[in-house]
Each structure stands twice: as structure tokens, then as C-alpha cells.
Amino acid sequence: MSELVISLRPARPTDAVELAAVHDAAWKEAYRGVLPGVVLEQMVARRGPRWWRNAVTRPRRISVVDFGGKLAGYAIYGPTRSLNLPQGGEIDELYIDPVMQGIGLGTRLFAAARQELAAEGRRGLVVWALSDNERACRFYERLGGRVAAEAKALFGGRPCAKVAYTFA
């Protein structure tokens, strides 16, 4: 009999190749048809292993979820960057490998990041999502997020609506 272990931990430089692979798969699944194809490919290409090796040494935290010895997802988070919102913490990115979605790993990763930010005394949390990323919007709504702000982001000169989900 074998045991399947799910663990949450800080990302390490040695995770760079797997982080790049998860980022690539998750972004292509989430944004195909939402962002212009060339723009999406360029954004994914910029986040190769070298980028991730550097990212794990920066002040914004990156946590990963490990599922049976395979990196299944990541979250990047820290103090809020949304100066017009009162929440003290922000999750910048939360992505799960598409083949691992739907089994609760994203919920676990979200809860862990939220708990760490709260333990630092950061009251409230904000997460931005592109409005056309319906799966992400449903995910944050299921977790209790409330739309608190809307904005536009430009991708390849194309405006895309985004929404801020806030959590108490």
C-alpha cells in the first residue's frame, strides 16, 4: 500500500523547472481565448526556470502545493499592492496545474496564504482576476469573495476587465 501526501511549503530555487511548467500549463488553460494568443505566448515565455529561480528569492512569498511528490500549484502573496483598497494582504497569483484542478488543492493553497497574511497582522485580503476568467471568478466567489472594485488592464493593446475580490 502506498501513501499519497499533500504538502504546502515555501517555494525553493530547485522548484524553478516545475514552477515554470505549472505556470505554462495553468496560464494557457486559463487565458486561451481571453488574451490575444501571441501576447499569452510571450507572457508564458518570460516566466521560464530562470525567472522562477530569481522569484523565490524576492520579498513576495511563493508557496507551493506538492501532491504526491509533484508540484501541483503555487501562490504568490504579500502586503497589498492595491493602495485604493483597505485590505492589508494580497494574493497576486494562485494557479493549479490543470490536470490537478477540482480536487481542493487551490482551496488549501488559498487558505494557507490567507492564514499566513493574517498571522502577520494583515487584516483583510484582496485578489484580482480577469473578468473573462470565469473559472477563477467562480472559485473566489465560492470562497466568499465579494467584488469590491473593477479596473482595466491592457494586454497587447487590448483592454481586459478585471475585478477585485475582497475577503474580511
Q: Which CATH number belongs to the domain containing residue 21 in this structure? A: 3.40.630.30
Which residues make beta-bridge pairs with 66? 7, 71
Does any domain span residue 38? yes
Does any domain span residue 94? yes
Give the pLDDT band of residue 82 (cuts 50, 70, 90).
Answer: confident
Write the pLDDT tens digit of every residue in 116-155.
Answer: 999 999 999 999 999 999 999 999 999 999 999 999 999 8
Does any domain span residue 62? yes
Does any domain span residue 158? no
Does any domain span residue 132? no
* Residue 4: strand, helix, or coil: coil
Q: What are phi and psi of 86, to 5 degrees?
A: -80, -10
C-alpha cell at 87: 485590505
Does any domain span residue 115? yes
* Residue 31: strand, helix, or coil: helix
* Residue matched to cell numbers 510571450: 42
Considering all CA atoms of the chain, what is the largest pairwise distance in Å, rounded to the nearest integer? 54
Provide mean pLDDT across the span 64-93: 95
Residue type, 34: V
Does any domain span residue 34? yes
Return the DSSP state at 131: T
The tally of domains found in the chain comes to 1
**Distance in angstroms (rounded) separating the CA atoms of residues 17 and 15:** 6
Full domain range(s) for residue 99: 6-122
Provide mean pLDDT across the span 28-37: 92
Return the DSSP state at 162: E
Does any domain span residue 151? no
What percentage of the chain has pLDDT greater than the value 90?
Answer: 90
